[in-house]
Amino acid sequence: MGHAFSIIIILQVSLPVLDGNPTITLRMIYEQGAGNEVLCGRVSVSEPLSRQGKWAWAEGWRTSRREDKGIQSLSFSLSGLQSKQLLSTRAFKNFQNKTGLKDFSWRVVYARKARRKKPHLREQLKNHQGAIVFIHGWDGSGEIWEDLPALVCQSNPRLIALVPDVNGFGGSPFIDEVPRVKHCSPKGLMLAVELWLRLLHFGPERGRPSRRPLIFVGHSMGGAALFYKTEGGWENKPYGLCAVAPALLHNDGLRKGFYVTLGVGIGAGMQLDFLDKFKDKLAPRVVEMLIEGASRKVKGEHRRIFAKTTKGTLAQTFYALGVTEEPVQRTTWDNFRVILGHRDRLVGIAPMLELLESLGLGSDNIRVVLGDHYFFSHGKSSPREHARNREILLEEILDLYERVRRERLPGEPDGR
């Protein structure tokens, strides 16, 4: 009687990772007769990451939240993606080493199709026509934008809003209690955001022009970071920048001194216990006075973040805004917008206008509205103009997106 003989071929496909190619592994198992002898072979073949696979990270969300009618958001973190094997350990460690950040967290806000019970972000990413990146300021989080990301997605359901926590605040803490200035300066903040976007495949792709614009919207510290956005390597990726009350203080000696003094005062509490009162009582009062026009929700978020964040991060990030002397090297300002509030105590309007003029920006790039540092935040106690300012900011973001979307990339033919 002959021996029974069978061949089992098992196809194993590893999950696509964000920094490289998936590996397809063929494991061939031969089973022979009653002796149950097994011979296993393994052949590995690398295959380029597919267009569908690059959005695999969308399955790694942590929490879901309804933002408004038809609008949903999902929260993510790089550590969460790494634990679910949607981001390689090597890519995560590389991000940490370059940015000094222990983790990086964000929300994705998008229009949800009716009658869908489960999140369908991956499908939305495949079909999206652009993304708006909202970058908050000092002692804040993505929550300070309130419903603005949702309003963007309601106005254009094909847009995705990316709302990260940055620069040591919220869900993106630094590894060291006192981060290095180069990591927490506006330039360092922008570097971290660009690295994160590349990991999620929102950055430029080599040799492949994109018709999905990125619009960066930054407030205060986040607005200052936009002036350090990299130009080289982004020729194939259309993008625009909207700096909202940017805390870029090169020309403002008075406010630079304030930032440095407050930063040093908070940090001194790390060495001298009696100065803890400066961090615990005086500094929050100073901050609240400076953002007095913001809504109650925004003020509450600032208090929460202030209490949660280490003294070293609070001190060093504020200090970095005052001492940074890194030159702005941007050469083109065509798709760069700056919006200022006329009563902003943190960003002096006269020194800022002089700085913008010296950098080469003109009247077409700049808009001044009635309001303070949070001129786009509106609540019951906010100035009346803030409600209209939020509408103005939304219009500016959508107009900038449309302008960038219509532009032709270098080397692209006239007809599309």
CATH of residue 265: 3.40.50.1820
How many domains in the chain?
2
Residues 106 and 22 in one domain: no
Residues 20 and 167 in one domain: no
Residues 13 and 152 in one domain: no
Q: State the pLDDT at residue 327.
A: 86
Residues 241 and 127 in one domain: yes
More confident site: 111 or 267: 111
Domain presence at residue 317? yes
Domain presence at residue 412? no
How far apart (Å, rounded) are the C-alpha atoms in residues 205 and 218?
A: 24
Residues 260 and 392 in one domain: yes
Q: State the pLDDT at residue 346.
A: 86
Contact 106, 61 (CB under 8 A): no
Domain presence at residue 229? yes
What percentage of the chain exceeds 90 in pLDDT? 58
Q: State the pLDDT at residue 1.
A: 44
Domain presence at residue 11? yes
Residues 175 and 216 in one domain: yes
- Mean pLDDT over residues 294-323, rounded? 88
Residues 14 and 161 in one domain: no
**Looking at the predicted structure, is the pLDDT value of residue 42 above 80?**
no
Q: State the pLDDT at residue 253.
A: 55
Q: Determine the structural domain holding residue 13 and report its residue range.
A: 5-46
**Looking at the predicted structure, is the pLDDT value of residue 270 above 70?**
no
Domain presence at residue 231? yes
Domain presence at residue 12? yes
Residues 249 and 397 in one domain: yes
| pTM > 0.85: yes or no | no
Domain presence at residue 261? yes
Domain presence at residue 196? yes
Q: State the pLDDT at residue 56.
A: 95
Residues 108 and 10 in one domain: no
Task: Please list, residue by residue across 246-256, b when 16 or more beta carbons sit within 10 angstroms of its beta carbon and e when fewer do.
Answer: bbbbbbbeebb
Residues 19 and 65 in one domain: no
Residues 64 and 26 in one domain: no
Residues 39 and 90 in one domain: no
